[in-house]
Amino acid sequence: MIEETKKNNIKFWINLSVAILALICFFVIEFFVVHFASLKIDEIFYFIFHDNIESNFMTNFYKVFTYIGSFYGLIVISLILLIALKNKRLGILTIVNLIVVGVFNFVIKIIVRRPRPYGINIITESGFSFPSGHAMMSIAFFGLLIYFAYKFIKNKGMKIFFVILFIVIIFMLGVSRIYLGVHYFSDILAGFLMGYVILSFDIFLFNRLDNCKFKTLNEQNSNKL
């Protein structure tokens, strides 16, 4: 029991340190975005995606991912999970998670007010560019599903399959937003970082609630004995 507590404490401090580092990196990117008209890294990725691989097939391919990663697309997935999963808390948490991320993203966009990329815009998006809402939501949403898969799926093969699947979806969602011309690379990176910060808090909160439930059940069983 003492050994398990030590391991949990180590995990907590590691996760907290990584989340703080992600938050610092986010603010560093935000500083450069606010104080400089253009970033070299954004120009490089813009060239890679728009001067080399643009095609009708790739456009339709990435549109699928960008629709999946939209707020409404993820809400639909959350509702399906809420209906399908026996543990309704998991479905409810994914929905609450999405709402929190959406609010955070909206507030940051209003504060920074970075315009969308100009030039090649394969699809049209309203609102400001920094940080990417799709990137924030994909990390917070599918990252949470990765955690649930790792924690609750017993079959090792299925666990590995879902973890890899969700990682690929997160990556492709980020790429799709750059390819479709509605975000800079720095928007995506900042969205991933802030999404990870929110994800870390979600996992911490879930574990606290889970531990409280476990302690309550133990106390009830002890009283019965």
* pLDDT tens digits, one per residue of 129-173: 999 999 999 999 999 999 988 888 888 899 999 999 999 999 999
Better-predicted residue by pLDDT, 68 or 51: 68
Contacts of 162 (CB under 8 A, 6+ apart): 145, 146, 149, 153
Residue 131 C-beta-side C-alpha neighbours within 13 Å = 33
Better-predicted residue by pLDDT, 187 or 97: 187
Domain limits of the chain? 2-211
Is the model's pLDDT at 223 over the cut of 60? no
**CA 104/CA 111 separation, integer angstroms:** 11
Is the model's pLDDT at 222 over the cut of 70? no
Categorize the per-residue pLDDT at 212 as very low, low, confident or very high, splitting at 50, 70 and 90: low
**CA 215/CA 29 separation, integer angstroms:** 42
Instruction: Find the length of the chain.
Output: 225
Report which DSSP code applies to 142: H
For 11, the 3-state DSSP assignment is helix
For the entire predicted model, the pTM comes to 0.84
Q: Which amino acid is at 9?
A: N
The predicted pLDDT at position 191 comes to 96
